[in-house]
Amino acid sequence: MNASVVIHWTDVGAASDVPYQGARRVETDLGAVAVFHTVSGEYFAIFDRCPHKNGPLSEGIVHGKAVACPLHNWSISLETGQALGADAGKGCTPVVPLMIEDGRILLGLNS
Ligand code: FES
């Protein structure tokens, strides 16, 4: 028997509202999610809490496909949610499935 997961996509706003090389915090039923817009024009979504001490990643500095946490400067991958560099292996923030459709941000927020 095949087990399949159906993703329920939730529209959380316009992609153009996420600043270039920045982020926007989105409140969801599952918690706050940070949606990032990288310098290369890609979008990523991860929960808005650092795996170190829950710092607000949406207020961090985006560099490449990572964000530097504003509290203690851990670097978190936007692709995997994993801590990078010297803090690799110390923690991970859950990644949220994201797609852009007709200029809208859709998040896969299955509970
Ligand atoms: S809370 Fe993010 S580095 Fe400490």
Q: Is 50 in the pocket of ligand 1 (CB under 6 A)?
A: yes
Structure pTM? 0.93
CB 69 within 8 A of CB 52: yes
In the chain the domains, ranked by start, together with CATH numbers, are 19-97 (2.102.10.10)
Per-position b or e across 2-15, b if 16+ CB within 10 A of its CB? eeeeeeebbebeeb
Q: Which of 97, 95, 101 is nearest to 82 (CA)?
A: 95
Q: Is the pLDDT confidence value at 94 over 70?
A: yes
Rounded to the nearest angstrom, the distance between the alpha carbon of 66 and the centre of ligand 1 is 14
Q: What percent of the chain has pLDDT over 70?
A: 96
pLDDT digits (tens, 9 = 90+) for 9-43: 999 999 999 999 999 999 999 999 999 999 999 99
Closest-CA residue, ligand 1 atom 4, reads 72
Closest-CA residue to 40 (of 17, 60, 66, 14)? 66
In 11-59, alpha helices (H): none
